[in-house]
Structure 1
Amino acid sequence: MHHAQDQPESGTALVVVARDDGMRTATTRELERRYGSDYRVVGGTGHGEVETALHAAGDPLVAVLLGALGEGDPDGLDVLRTCHAGHPGAVAVALVRWGDFATARPIFEAITVGQLDRWVYAPQGRADEEFHRSVTEVLDEWSSRQDGGFEAVRIVGDRWDPHAQHLRDQMTRNRIPLGFYEAGTPGGRALLADLGVEQPRLPVVVVRFKPEQTVLQAPSDLEVAEAFGLFDPLDPDAVHDVVVVGAGPAGLGASVYAASEGLDTLQLECEAVGGQAGTSSLIRNYLGFPTGVSGSRLAFSAYQQAWAFGTRFSFMRSAASLSTEDGLHRVALGDGSAVRARTVVVATGAAWRRIGVPELEAFTGRGVFYGAAVSEAPAMAGRHVFVVGGGNSAGQAAVYLSRYAEKVTLLVRRSSLTETMSDYLIRELVALPRVEIRYRVQVAGGRGSDVLETVVLRDLDTGAEDEEPGMLFVMIGSEPRTDWLVGTLARDRWGFLLTGAALTGDGVAPAWPLDRPPALLETSTPGVFAAGDVRQGSVKRVASAVGEGALAVTLVHAHLASLAAAR
């Protein structure tokens, strides 16, 4: 998310630190040639020399620290860490020669424990495009962490207003360049005056990327979608090959494969593309992204891919009910409209479970956040943050928040994380100096005036309680979004959809209606499939959700073929 703020006049620097003269010279020369008009390129053999050079250049903001590691710089990672301590906002990148494979293991270890962000191969010659592709990705990552820049949308509101927080989070997750102005600040008041808005109903949303600027006051999601031009009318007479409900990894996986294989595909999404994965700051174990990928980038790329193949999207409409007649499925929507399809893929995912402490509910969006709430992370600077949960999402949130918060405490009900969290993430958390893990503890309360100020923690073994200042990010398991399917599709006692072999057990209602067995991801209604977190037995991984979405399309093809054969 962007805030209104100018870059310092001294500019922004790319720093190369290496005792290896050849590597340092080649890298700084290549950086100056390609990026010299936008960044100051500073080189040095060590921490002291780099700091002197930066001071001489007017103390620019450091965007990227490239530190050599190899025969000439055997202690390169230590030198890079020393430099990074003085410029924690910079992206720390190891610079290695191609073929120097001995450096691989220490680099991977450093990335695992959060001491290093990325690694690149030093340029092999002039215009080394692989090198520049890596540098551009690093600069893109750095700029996404920064304030300032193009603002396609501006929001004026109160920072802790839940409505303003919801709009900021939606737009941040959908990768919309956003400027947020607090209503009580001079900048916020000036913007409202420029807009001619007196006694505004906050938050005020200014849509600036359309030919004519649109100003909305306290808008609903539907009004925002209409102003963005995302609210195309749905054809009630059309019969789609497949309607995909939900645009998280499973739904996007289904729509990419369905549309690419020529199926008439409509995708419904009531919030932001990406689902829970879209809020993850860095997914490091998704296949094909060796340096990690943010959830929002992965989701937005998948959305563009599905769109390019011909998927039609309908945003800000929620599914209200599902009915089936003569082999055609009808999805009724919250605004009273409906769509029809020969098959349906339900990929509505799951929502974060509420913490269940009444006095904390009043602070939702004002110090109590569900999910990673990535747009709120910069506001945690200098604060103590508690993250509640023992799964990968909680671990990733703790890592991300530790970039901003003074201290992050992960609160875990169990006595261990080994059964609920990936090993690489546990090791990273243990190694991060600003992160503490506390076991066998739960949140029992909290207090504050305008925003949450203190959190009451209870020791589950002794019952002792203590109160500490801080804010709360809650990730304690999920509840499937299947309320709209009650009485229509078979669910387990937690609300997850039953599919495949789970439908044929004793006591399953409604019973499977056909002689043939249900397909692997098929629900209790033939032709309606479930993929991702909404399904009983899902693995809660992005890769498996995408895989289930793709597999669902294979089953959709088979169902469509059986319908054609029956005509």
Structure 2
Amino acid sequence: MTGTALAVVARDAGLRTSTTRELERRYGSDYRVVSATGRGELDAALSAAGDPTVAVLLGGLGEDDPDGLEVLRACHAEHPGAIAVALVRWGAFETARPIFEAITVGQLDRWVYAPQGCPDEEFHRSVTEILDEWSSRRGGGFEAVRIIGHRWDPHAQHLRDQMTRNRIPLGIYEAGSPEGRAMLADLELEQPRLPVVVVRFRPEQTVLEAPTDLEVAEAFGLFDPLDPDAVHDVAIVGAGPAGLGASVYAASEGLDTLHLECEAVGGQAGTSSLIRNYLGFPTGVSGSRLAFSAYLQAWAFGTTFSFMRTAASLRTEDGLHRITLHDGTAVRARSVVIATGAAWRRVGVPELEAFTGRGVFYGAAVSEAPAMAGRHVFVVGGGNSAGQAAVYLSRYAERVTVLVRRSSLAETMSDYLIRELEALPRVDVRYRVQVAGGRGSDVLETVVLRDLDTGAETEEPGMLFVMIGSEPRTDWLAGTLARDRWGFLLTGAALLAGGDVTPAWPLDRPPALLETSTPGVFAAGDVRQGSVKRVASAVGEGALAVTLVHAHLASLAASSAAR
């Protein structure tokens, strides 16, 4: 790692000196620590140090560095692989808003307070987290698993995504490269079926050719046979924030908890590079780190996890719920929490995927809106969510344009919202248009729009908010649990709201708040109709579901005693 540098760029001599000293004391044996007052001086310092790879760029921002963000961005352009961090003195609260806005639009990765003492463990905790993030992005180091294949092979990409989201130390090698060919030769594989997965952390190394998810899970030791005779207190389906919240509270409160997950922990939230609005993480936290920490917490409390298990059907007999899995096996439980989640429909333009979170945002606009000041914002969608987002964004953005594929909003948006959009001077609506592309460097800079009637395309500067609906993962419950017309599970009062609810609520007592049309089966998180699309609310619903599970189990015990 001595070929890797931590760089401090600040005109404030006291801040620069104290930060450099603390970095050298704690990290000097593993990293080069260089400091400079500006871009040119940094280039010279790095050259004198042998041009090491820059892992972290800490740029001063404050009274002596009023243009600190601009300087940091200029340095970052020269070292795009580094993590850009604003370095501020404690109490310099005037720097907060520009920092938050820069983070929102992807011009800055993190911020930290400069060290206040010697040693400053709070400062070092932040730096260690940043270095861990950089190491995860870069790869290298210990490789628990190696994947040898073709870079753009969908199967190889799927395996890489699954393992990365589960925070498995991973090495990825192109099969046609000299290194990849040498590895295949060492494994005595002349014409292997790619991708090849090498499991290196088990007592005996396992080599898999073009493996299925089940074969990978079995090689990892995660696919222990499920006992078909066991009856669990609660079975949780889906390991996103709602499911993990339920798992932590259920296991910690002594319930026999089985958790089924078909992919990786974290769900949609697990793919987020930085969640900034989750309680208790002022500088943000990656979705994978948050989810993996929750998984470890539930596991420590005693949850039994079974990965690569896809639920295929649910049936209830004699008060017990039977979940049949796609491989034909089945598990039984006295209660069930469905937390399979939902995904925002993607805009469907591959070149825009790289800008997710960096100018392309899915879902609500509240946290990103202040950073849109002075910008042109495009809102994609014709429903109420898109209309409400446009209204809110218009408080900050210089211009908001709502993009609608239809020729009218009348069928998809409430009348009051349509009238409000028409009255707002900063908002306009374009009909019969779709997003066809986008361009940018670090962040999205321009959006390509296509007229659906003429086919003509225009390219305009702006950022993108996409609200074109979400798709709940409930196909396997069709006909078993009551759903709305979009597939979201109906719970609580929604089951008694009138209309043709099928299947109907079967008992004289009203359903509990998160209870589905089958007593003892609960839904939490995005899979549920009316849920709030936030990580915190999903975790809260998971915890609340466990309270309702306790009440259900108590009623079962009382009924059994009465008999």
Query: Does the TM-score normalized on the shorter chain lie above 0.5?
Result: yes
Secondary structure of the corresponding residue to residue 165 of structure 1? helix
**Is 1:509–2:502 an aligned residue pair?**
yes
Secondary structure of the corresponding residue to residue 335 of structure 2? strand
Shift of residue 476 of structure 1?
4.9
Map of 2:455 onto structure 1: 464
Shift of residue 47 of structure 1?
2.4
Map of 1:534 onto structure 2: 527
1:184 to 176, 184, 191: 176
The letter of the residue matching 2:388 is E
**Is 1:160–2:152 an aligned residue pair?**
yes
Q: Distance in 2 between matches of 1:467 and 1:166?
A: 34
Shift of residue 117 of structure 1?
2.1
Shift of residue 341 of structure 1?
0.9
The letter of the residue matching 2:455 is A
Please show how residues 100-499 of structure 1 align to structure 2 within 5 Å.
100-351=92-343, 353=345, 391=363, 412-413=380-381, 419-420=388-389, 441-442=433-434, 458-460=450-452, 462-466=453-457, 476-499=468-491
Please give the per-residue CA displacement for 1:225-263, whole angstroms capped at 9, x wherever unaligned: 000000111111111110001111111111011111111
Q: Distance in 2 between matches of 1:506 and 1:70?
A: 61
Q: Check 1:368–1:71 CA distance in 2 against 1; reply closer, same or farther (3 A cut).
A: closer
Number of aligned residue pairs: 510
Secondary structure of the corresponding residue to residue 334 of structure 2? strand
Q: Check 1:21–1:457 CA distance in 2 against 1; reply closer, same or farther (3 A cut).
A: closer
Q: Distance in 1 between matches of 2:50 and 2:285?
A: 33
Shift of residue 560 of structure 1?
1.1
Q: Kindly indicate whether the alpha-carbon contact (under 8 Å) linking 1:114 and 1:428 is maintained by their aligned counterparts in 2.
A: no
Shift of residue 418 of structure 1?
6.1
Q: Check 1:500–1:463 CA distance in 2 against 1; reply closer, same or farther (3 A cut).
A: farther
Q: Distance in 1 between matches of 2:193 and 2:130?
A: 40
Please give the per-residue CA displacement for 1:181-240, whole angstroms capped at 9, x wherever unaligned: 222222222211111012111111111111111000111111100000001111111111
Map of 1:525 onto structure 2: 518
Q: Distance in 2 between matches of 1:489 and 1:536?
A: 12
Q: Distance in 2 between matches of 1:178 and 1:426?
A: 44
Q: Distance in 1 between matches of 2:307 and 2:530?
A: 28
Please give the per-residue CA displacement for 1:84-140, whole angstroms capped at 9, x wherever unaligned: 232222222222222333333333333334332222222122221111101111111
The letter of the residue matching 1:464 is G
Q: Distance in 2 between matches of 1:424 and 1:281?
A: 23
Q: Distance in 2 between matches of 1:168 and 1:483?
A: 26
Q: Distance in 2 between matches of 1:411 and 1:386?
A: 15
Q: Kindly indicate whether the alpha-carbon contact (under 8 Å) linking 2:163 and 2:170 is maintained by their aligned counterparts in 1.
A: yes
The runs of 5 or more residues in structure 2 that have no matched partner are 372-376, 400-428, 438-446, 460-465
Please give the per-residue CA displacement for 1:129-165, whole angstroms capped at 9, x wherever unaligned: 1111011111112222214222211111222222112
Q: Distance in 2 between matches of 1:410 and 1:40?
A: 43
Shift of residue 483 of structure 1?
1.8
Q: Check 1:475–1:269 CA distance in 2 against 1; reply closer, same or farther (3 A cut).
A: farther
Map of 1:94 onto structure 2: 86
**Is 1:546–2:539 an aligned residue pair?**
yes
Q: Distance in 1 between matches of 2:194 and 2:80?
A: 35
The letter of the residue matching 1:558 is A
Secondary structure of the corresponding residue to residue 233 of structure 2? strand
Q: Kindly indicate whether the alpha-carbon contact (under 8 Å) linking 2:194 and 2:210 is maintained by their aligned counterparts in 1.
A: yes
The letter of the residue matching 1:463 is T
The letter of the residue matching 1:545 is A
The letter of the residue matching 2:501 is V
Please give the per-residue CA displacement for 1:267-294, whole angstroms capped at 9, x wherever unaligned: 0001111111111121111121111111
Shift of residue 13 of structure 1?
1.1
Q: Kindly indicate whether the alpha-carbon contact (under 8 Å) linking 2:242 and 2:339 is maintained by their aligned counterparts in 1.
A: yes
Map of 2:442 onto structure 1: none
**Is 1:30–2:22 an aligned residue pair?**
yes
Secondary structure of the corresponding residue to residue 108 of structure 1? helix
2:60 to 68, 72, 97: 68
Q: Kindly indicate whether the alpha-carbon contact (under 8 Å) linking 1:414 and 1:439 is maintained by their aligned counterparts in 2.
A: no
Q: Check 1:84–1:426 CA distance in 2 against 1; reply closer, same or farther (3 A cut).
A: farther
The runs of 5 or more residues in structure 1 that have no matched partner are 1-6, 361-366, 400-408, 431-437, 446-454, 469-473
Q: Check 1:352–1:325 CA distance in 2 against 1; reply closer, same or farther (3 A cut).
A: same
Q: Distance in 1 between matches of 2:3 and 2:556?
A: 64
Q: Distance in 2 between matches of 1:557 and 1:439?
A: 51
Q: Distance in 1 between matches of 2:86 and 2:485?
A: 50
The letter of the residue matching 1:187 is E
Map of 1:48 onto structure 2: 40
Shift of residue 414 of structure 1?
5.2
The letter of the residue matching 2:555 is S
Q: Distance in 1 between matches of 2:212 and 2:257?
A: 27
Q: Distance in 2 between matches of 1:389 and 1:16?
A: 31
Secondary structure of the corresponding residue to residue 483 of structure 2? coil
Shift of residue 36 of structure 1?
0.5
Q: Kindly indicate whether the alpha-carbon contact (under 8 Å) linking 2:105 and 2:359 is maintained by their aligned counterparts in 1.
A: no
Q: Kindly indicate whether the alpha-carbon contact (under 8 Å) linking 1:96 and 1:121 is maintained by their aligned counterparts in 2.
A: yes
Q: Check 1:167–1:428 CA distance in 2 against 1; reply closer, same or farther (3 A cut).
A: farther
Q: Check 1:19–1:355 CA distance in 2 against 1; reply closer, same or farther (3 A cut).
A: closer
